[in-house]
Chain A
Amino acid sequence: GNSVTQMEGPVTLSEEAFLTINCTYTATGYPSLFWYVQYPGEGLQLLLKATKADDKGSNKGFEATYRKETTSFHLEKGSVQVSDSAVYFCALGQSGAGSYQLTFGKGTKLSVIP
């Protein structure tokens, strides 16, 4: 079955530091890949996505590139802010037989300190 593995947290960074959160996946076929973010006390919200190999998703300074050869979708940001403190989830989405499933990694908690 499909699965997503992301680096364990928590990750603590100083403001303006570089962020990388690793994500690798296992899937058959050609899934779409996503990063969702969950701020304290809220539901998940889409941060960025990529739907085919070599696509780069980007939003709010975050980027991730769909690498089929390494089955990876690592999240990066050049300069994190305190407001980026949240839990980040890597996910893969796959359609089939009239259904659609989004499989999530376990999440990585990021804390950014001033």
Chain B
Amino acid sequence: DSGVTQTPKHLITATGQRVTLRCSPRSGDLSVYWYQQSLDQGLQFLIQYYNGEERAKGNILERFSAQQFPDLHSELNLSSLELGDSALYFCASSVGVSPGEKLFFGSGTQLSVL
């Protein structure tokens, strides 16, 4: 058990809908990361937050947004969903942003857009 909790584990929805994925980082970790894993693209970095502030953005679509709350949990909002958004979404956390930081990953949320 990594200590990172993601809910829900599975999500099935229709095109055009909006969903929210939730992540609770390991106790004491201030940094949260979101990744999208698909068969063709591999593991793509979406966004990083540190202590409530956005710190880095990767290949995140404009239809997607995220935030980190004062209690350090994070939510990833996906809207106007398309078939191609079907993927496994991982949250990870780390203590900080120092070189060599180790990331702890949750078990992921499997999103299926039908």
State the A residues within 8 Å of B (CB). 30, 32, 34, 36, 41-46, 49, 51, 89, 93-95, 97-107
Contacts and interface: CB of A to CB of B under 8 A. Distances in A.
B27 to A, nearest CB: 17
A43 B4 contact: yes
Contact of A49 (B2, B45, B100): B100
Given A98-B55, A99-B55, A101-B56, A44 B90 contact: yes
A105 B42 CA distance: 7
A99 B97 contact: yes
29 contacts: A30-B99, A32-B99, A32-B101, A43-B4, A43-B92, A43-B108, A44-B90, A46-B103, A49-B102, A51-B99, A51-B100, A89-B43, A93-B99, A94-B99, A95-B97, A97-B55, A99-B97, A100-B48, A100-B94, A100-B101, A101-B56, A102-B45, A102-B92, A103-B45, A104-B42, A104-B45, A106-B43, A107-B42, A107-B43
B97 A100 contact: yes
Question: Secondary structure of the A side of the interface?
Answer: strand
A99 B50 contact: yes
B25 interface: no
A46 B102 contact: yes
Interface of B: 2, 4, 31, 33, 35, 42-43, 45, 48, 50, 55-56, 58, 90, 92, 94, 96-108
Given A36-B105, A93-B101, 12 more contacts: A42-B107, A43-B107, A43-B108, A45-B104, A51-B99, A95-B101, A98-B50, A99-B48, A99-B50, A100-B98, A101-B58, A107-B43
B94 A43 contact: no
A93 B100 contact: yes
